[in-house]
A and B are shown apart, each in its own frame.
Chain A
Amino acid sequence: MSRMEFMQGNTACAEGALAAGCTFFGGYPITPSTEVAEHMALKLPKRGGVFIQMEDEIASIAAAIGASWTGARAMTATSGPGFSLMMENIGYAVMTETPCVIVNIQRGGPSTGQPTRAAQGDMLQCRFGSHGDYGIIAVCPASVQEMFDLTAEAFNLADRYRVPAFVMSDEIVGHMRERVMLADTVETTPRRPLSPGRLPFEPGEDGVPGFPEFGRGHAAHVTGLTHDERGYPDATDHAAHEKLVRRLYQKIESARREIADYEVTNPDAEVVFVTYGPPARTVWQVMHDLSDPAIGHLRLRLVWPFPEFALAAFPDAKVFLMPELNMGQISREVERHVDVPVVSLPKLGGELHTPAELKRALEVHR
């Protein structure tokens, strides 16, 4: 039975993972994400799962990747400094096509920055932070309910595309308390196993290979080196490298319509807010206050792969306004897909934009 509760975003994130069947959590304490680990430490052992506090964030994601190869749905959670430490092994998960979920409760950076204040400063890092070319999937919850729903969905996306999936949340949603409907179980897309006769890294038509789970007699060799479809290193052949990297990139980019998750409000609008994460909440207030059909809102629940076609839902748009808790990281992505002005509205320091600030921006730019 589903149940209604009043809880914190980070706890809802952990509950979403549990509902999705997550059985392994490797983590390291860091503000403002620690409650995710604490809730998993409380719940996982009673369900026959494994919680382990590792010696650092590098080890945390390493353990999650290792667990994933045994077939487990595995995750870790962190914030900026820990996220930076994870970058090399995130690239390893990409290269080895290891499904895993990485939660980043973003805080102000760079460096130690503002441990207890929200930011969205890691949006490009999650997409491009590890070396080399690749694609990943990233969801952005704007409410406690979405912490539950989108964390669960991240596991499906990770398994479906054999890729790390990121829950790019922040201190505001992570520490906010709201009413949330907790489903006991959620719809799960199981990881597609390796078919008999197929090679461990031989892609299907969708570019995604079946998963050769450890302990099933596949004798799969998994390496971060450039490899062929057998999984064998082939690190000097230019064609082998190009084929692999193009596939890792394309299997995500070519599926972006299927992966996309967004909301369109007032598609006939001339001035359109584009948001992800909690800045949407200020926009909701502004639209409630002004009740003006000429103001539109594109809310991205999923930012990577970027759904540029969603911008076309506003054919009359004369300007896009982008309130972000960073210096305009995603506004540049929007800019390169539209012919009308894109106005970045950065907000730093840990607070959301106020409705008054966004109303002022409307007056200036419409």
Chain B
Amino acid sequence: MSAADWQRIDRLPNIYCAGCGNGSVINCTLAAVEEMGWTRENTVFISGIGCSSRAPGYILTDSLHTTHGRALAFATGVKLANPALNVVVFTGDGDLAAIGGNHFIHACRRNVDMTAICMNNQIYGMTGGQGSPTTPRGAISTTTPYGSAEPVFDLAELAVAAGANHVARWTSYHVKELMAAIATGLQTPGFSLVEVMTQCPTNYGRRNRLRQVSDMIEHLRTHALLVQKRDRLIREGKPIPEGMFVVGELVRRHRPAMGVRA
């Protein structure tokens, strides 16, 4: 099988806008799943609500497209009831960090064996571009027309603090690194969060002086700070440049996990 064999061809075209980053994330995920040797019979994709959460509908496996914010709670039931199933959750910044925040921290704490892939485009894309808990301060959205006044959540650091066994962050530009990080997440017993900074040209870029898709991807590339470099800056007592986000593997560990196949 190849990654293409995992797709529901009869559901094309998908709902994603031209230039959307979600396709890259789905491709990287399917490549990683394929690399793991998982089959369509023993793999389940689960999601909540939002653009990211439409992904399972395009994948040819059992899939549960659930309610807004609750995907990890549904996934906990699936995995604990049948640990033989491989469980992957697609979610977004609004789904995971806002309405689903409580389920997120408890999924990390329980460390149930699954991989959650968060497509963080820093906006509510499906509903037309409202501010989310990861919309940068000052950014324009339809509900922050004068610039967002709220500090943001760092989802990856939150997952580290809450106890996930594996946490990584990459961008839709870093496809090779992203694929490797997802594969690591799939291999790691316990909960894995792979956060992917991705572009929403329709509802974020055009309101925030990133009118071309290439500008958005370039923005992601130039604002990604490797975790090793950040650590070096800290060691040297130097300031971390503003507006940057950390990429790389933030943690890989072996806390006790639930739902691990015997």
Contacts and interface: CB of A to CB of B under 8 A. Distances in A.
Interface of A: 23-24, 26, 50, 52, 54-56, 58-60, 62-72, 74, 88-89, 92, 212, 214-225, 232-233
12 contacts: A24-B81, A62-B73, A62-B76, A63-B73, A63-B80, A66-B79, A69-B62, A89-B67, A92-B66, A215-B82, A221-B57, A225-B65
Interface in B189-215: none
A65 B57 CA distance: 18
Nearest to A50: B80
A214 B78 CA distance: 9
A283 B56 CA distance: 54
Q: Main SS of chain B's interface residues?
A: mixed
Interface stretch (B37-45, B230-238, B248-256): B37-45
B77 A24 contact: yes
Given A52-B80, A218-B62, A222-B62, 4 more contacts: A24-B81, A62-B76, A68-B77, A69-B62
B188 interface: no
B63 A224 contact: no
A74 B106 contact: no
A66 B75 contact: yes
Interface string B68-112: 001001111111111011000000000000000011001000000
A72 B81 contact: yes
Contacts of B41: 215-217
B257 interface: no
A224 B76 contact: no
Nearest to B53: A223
A220 B74 contact: no
A55 to B, nearest CB: 4
A48 to B, nearest CB: 11
A63 B76 contact: yes
B31 interface: no
Q: Which residue, A62, A72, A89, A223, has most C-beta atoms of chain B within 10 A?
A: A62
B78 A62 contact: no
Contacts of B56: 221
A23 B79 CA distance: 13
A69 B79 CA distance: 10
Q: Main SS of chain A's interface residues?
A: mixed
A66 B78 contact: yes
A50 B74 CA distance: 14
B64 interface: yes
Contacts of A23: 81
B63 A66 contact: no
Nearest to B45: A221
A55 B84 CA distance: 24
Interface of B: 8, 11, 40-42, 44, 46, 56-57, 60-67, 70, 73-82, 84-85, 102-103, 106
A132 B80 CA distance: 31
Given A54-B73, A55-B102, A221-B56, A67 B63 contact: no
- The 4 A-B residue pairs whose C-beta atoms are closest, nearest first, are A66-B77, A63-B77, A67-B81, A62-B73
Contacts of A217: 40-41
B22 to A, nearest CB: 16
Contacts of B63: 220-222
B65 A224 contact: yes
Contacts of A63: 73-74, 76-77, 80
B76 A59 contact: yes
A222 B65 contact: yes
Contact of B57 (A58, A60, A74, A233): A233
B78 A70 contact: yes
B65 A58 contact: no
B66 to A, nearest CB: 7
A74 B81 contact: yes
Contacts of A221: 8, 56-57, 62-63, 65
Nearest to A49: B81
B70 to A, nearest CB: 5
Q: Which residue, A24, A26, A67, has most C-beta atoms of chain B within 10 A?
A: A67
A214 B73 contact: no
Nearest to B47: A223
Contacts of A71: 82
A314 B254 CA distance: 68
A312 to B, nearest CB: 41
Q: Which residue, A63, A220, A233, has most C-beta atoms of chain B within 10 A?
A: A63
Contacts of B70: 58-59, 62, 89
Nearest to A100: B77
A223 B58 CA distance: 12
Q: Which residue, A65, A69, A71, A221, has most C-beta atoms of chain B within 10 A?
A: A221
Given A54-B76, A66-B74, A214 B44 contact: yes
Contact of A67 (B11, B40, B77): B77
Given A92-B67, A223-B65, A62 B57 contact: no
A219 B6 CA distance: 10
